[in-house]
Homo-oligomer: A and B are copies of this chain.
Amino acid sequence: MTLGGKALSDASDTAALERELARAGALIGPILEELLPSGRQDFLSDAVWYHLGTGGKRVRPAICLLTCERLGGEPSRALYFAAAVEILHNMLLIHDDLEDGDTIRRDQEAVWVRYGARNAVNVGDYMLSVAYGAVLKSPVPDAARARLAQAFAEALETTCRGQALDLNWRGRADLTVRDYLEMVTLKTGRYMALGMVGGGIIAGLSDDALAPLEQLGACLGAAFQIRDDLIDLTAGKGRGGVTGNDIREGKCSILYAHAVSAAKPPDRETLIRIMRKPRQDTTDADVARVHDVYRRTGSLQFADEQAERLVARAFETIERIPAADKEFFRRLTRYMVSRTR
């Protein structure tokens, strides 16, 4: 299987990378259909495909396949693992929306709104079992398969640990930027690295050689989340154009983490009071006031600088990845941090 071929060597800009990602991502379509047959009357497949069909660019599985190839592996051996990463990503979104009470995902009703909370929980558990089964179907030696399964389980565990902090730190008055970075690294780091790490395992990398991929994932995950925090204030996050969702939910964004440390009274008290308001009581004027505090404390600029710092660290890390084509990882980094969903 060749993912790039001639076209790849021309892929010197973001548009070319996007085409390459789209082409690689499309390869897992048949595997997803095999693992999760559509059209079954089982009260599962409708919800699964409703969610899988609501967009999503299959970026994560594409990264897995392309990383495997760039590291000298055979990407066809990574198809099941790539599909598992995509299924994991989507089941986490289904559970996340329920946990956060988010009613809209990719400008459509969230699964829990359309199929009920009880089905959303069970469908997510089901998808996880299928994802885990897919990892074990990877056509690689037993020892590599065990490493893939271990990486998968660890990524899920770490993500849930980060999510626990995210859910329970809302409106916390003594939240620091350090806390935020801890939370976001747990929540997104391993998970963002998972496709690359899996691609690396399938390409036969040693644990030492995998380390920079894990570090790159941690940088990308945090940078991506910071961009996401900023996008929530400007364009909104695929929630029907609603902005300031994180403020309504009281989520510990980097903006809140910075502002709650930097703001002086009475701004600080206002900020905390609004973040702790129940979602339905938070008005548009409240969101505007918080946004104003963020501006005056320099939190927006701070967030931008942090994202840039993480990108710089990502670029340093890429130098240690044992791949001839390091430019691929650099382009990927720029793409992940710049893209809106």
Q: Which residues of A contact B (CB under 8 A)?
A: 42-44, 95, 98-101, 117-119, 121-126, 128-130, 132-133, 136, 142-143, 145-146, 149-150, 152-154, 156-157, 160-161, 163-165, 167-168
- Chain A's interface: helix, strand, loop or mixed, by majority? helix
Q: What CA separation (Å) do A168 and B168 show in the bound complex?
A: 32
Residue pair A160, B129 in contact (C-beta under 8 Å): yes
Contact of A118 (CB < 8 Å), options: B130, B146, B167: B167
Residue pair B132, A149 in contact (C-beta under 8 Å): yes
**Smallest CB separation, A51 vs chain B (Å):** 15
Given A124-B125, A146-B146, 8 other A-B contacts at CB below 8 A? A44-B161, A101-B118, A119-B168, A125-B160, A128-B128, A129-B160, A142-B146, A149-B149
- Beyond A136-B149, A167-B118, whether A161 also contacts B95 by CB under 8 A is no
Q: In the assembled complex, which residues on chain B have CB atoms less than 8 Å from the CB atom of A143?
A: 142
How many copies of this chain does one complex carry?
2
Residue pair B126, A161 in contact (C-beta under 8 Å): yes
**Smallest CB separation, A172 vs chain B (Å):** 12
Residue pair B146, A132 in contact (C-beta under 8 Å): no
Q: Which of A44, A145, A152, A153 has the most CB of B within 10 A?
A: A153
Contact of A129 (CB < 8 Å), options: B98, B122, B156: B156
Residue pair B136, A157 in contact (C-beta under 8 Å): no
What 8 A-B pairs have minimum CB-CB distances, sorted nearest first? A126-B160, A142-B142, A129-B157, A129-B156, A99-B118, A132-B153, A43-B164, A43-B168
Q: What CA separation (Å) do A43 and B163 show in the bound complex?
A: 10
**Smallest CB separation, A75 vs chain B (Å):** 22
Q: In the assembled complex, which residues on chain B have CB atoms less than 8 Å from the CB atom of A152?
A: 132
Residue pair B160, A122 in contact (C-beta under 8 Å): yes
